[in-house]
């Protein structure tokens, strides 16, 4: 019987791995094409797209496109702006949204269900419908700058950060995760005299690593890929992020090799952040346990 089942088990395992490899290739091939194309001159890049050579570093390969990309646009500045704006938004958003979700999950107050329902309902509202009203609001708000009190948030970093510090999806993720945690932990902490903020800080946060990592990845991708809002609120390249900087490569003559080089460079922070959070996500799952 064992001799019959072992080949079947081996076939199922081989089929499973073949499926996983096929799925991995679907995601890896576009990245491979982008990186390889960034090393080729335009004529060869366009010629190779008709064959498998598009995925191979063959022919006239060099880093000239990367140097040309830095000459065409301030690539380093755009990447630094995006990383700063994204990380600042992610860190503050995780704190505010998790704190709000903690209140919705564990505190009792009048109208809690209605407020949460209204917040979740905002998920169906497209950003494009509120972009113009939000632009008019931020353009009339005061802030203290280097030259004193000023009006209007245009051409600043905070105009790209503050409007996105809280969002319905992140709050919803935290609420659902917090509701699944054992109530005994909170009750025990409260009996020991812990305040609600101490419960959040010392009990909930240490065991909520998976949802923090998931929310951070989703928020990072959302903020790093912002295009419409930064395009509306920044006229100076000093504050522009990477997606707005992409338009520099489509002015006059489009150099596709430089475009691929630019895309390769702006992808690095996304991959680095994901790999960092992936390790934190796995570690948090391995270390999280509720012992009786």
283: confidence class by pLDDT, cuts 50, 70, 90? low
Domain ranges of the chain: 75-251
CA dist 246 and 243 (Å) reads 5
Burial of 212 (0-12, 13-18, 19+ CB in 10 A): buried
The predicted model gives 33-40 an average pLDDT of 93
157 backbone dihedrals φ, ψ, rounded to 5°:
-80, -40
Which residue is associated with the tokens 């979700």? 101
pTM > 0.75: yes or no: yes
pLDDT > 80? residue 1: no
The pLDDT confidence band at residue 290, using thresholds 50, 70 and 90, is very low
Q: State the architecture of 75-251 in CATH terms.
A: Orthogonal Bundle (1.10)
pLDDT at 5 over 60: no
Q: What is the pLDDT of residue 14?
A: 83
Q: Is the pLDDT of residue 287 over 80?
A: no
Cα–Cα distance for residue pair 246/228, rounded to 1 Å: 12
Q: What is the pLDDT of residue 280?
A: 62
The pLDDT value given to residue 7: 63
pLDDT in tens, 116-139: 999 999 999 999 999 999 999 998
Output the CA–CA distances (angstroms, integers) from residue 47 to 50, 69, 82, 210, in the order listed.
Answer: 6, 21, 33, 45
What's the pLDDT at 292? 40
16 or 148: which carries more pLDDT confidence?
A: 16
pLDDT at 4 over 70: no
- The pair of structure tokens assigned to 212 is 């923090």
Residue pair 182/290 in contact (Cβ under 8 Å)? The answer is: yes
Task: State how far the Cα of 74 lies from the Cα of 80, in Å rounded to an integer.
Answer: 10
Compare 160 and 145 and report the one with higher pLDDT: 160
pLDDT band with cut points at 50, 70 and 90 for residue 291? very low
Among 22-26, 148-152, 169-173, 235-239, the range of highest mean pLDDT: 169-173
pLDDT at 216 over 60: yes
């Amino acid at each position: 019987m064992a001799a019959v089942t072992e080949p079947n088990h081996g076939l199922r395992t081989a089929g499973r791995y073949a499926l996983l490899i096929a799925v991995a290739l679907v995601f890896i091939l576009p990245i491979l094409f982008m990186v390889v194309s960034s090393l080729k001159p335009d004529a060869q890049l366009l010629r190779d797209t008709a064959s498998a050579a598009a995925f191979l570093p063959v022919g006239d390969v060099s880093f000239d496109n990367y140097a040309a990309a830095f000459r065409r646009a301030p690539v380093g500045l755009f990447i630094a702006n995006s990383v700063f704006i994204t990380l600042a938004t992610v860190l503050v958003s995780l704190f505010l949204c998790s704190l709000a979700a903690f209140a919705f999950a564990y505190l009792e107050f009048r109208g809690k269900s209605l407020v949460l329902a209204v917040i979740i309902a905002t998920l169906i509202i497209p950003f494009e419908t509120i972009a113009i009203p939000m632009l008019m609001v931020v353009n009339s708000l005061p802030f203290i700058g280097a030259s004193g009190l000023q009006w209007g948030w245009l051409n600043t970093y905070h105009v790209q950060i503050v409007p996105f510090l809280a969002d319905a999806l992140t709050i919803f993720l935290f609420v659902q995760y917090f509701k699944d945690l054992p109530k005994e932990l909170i009750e025990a902490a409260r009996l020991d005299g812990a305040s609600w903020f101490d419960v959040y800080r010392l009990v909930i946060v240490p065991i909520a690593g998976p949802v923090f990592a998931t929310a951070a990845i989703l928020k990072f991708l959302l903020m790093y890929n912002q295009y419409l809002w930064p395009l509306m609120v920044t006229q100076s390249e000093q504050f522009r992020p990477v997606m707005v900087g992409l338009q520099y490569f489509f002015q006059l003559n489009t150099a596709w090799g430089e475009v691929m080089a630019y895309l390769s460079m702006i992808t690095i922070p996304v991959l680095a952040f994901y790999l960092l959070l992936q390790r934190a996500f796995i570690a948090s799952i391995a270390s999280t346990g509720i012992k009786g």
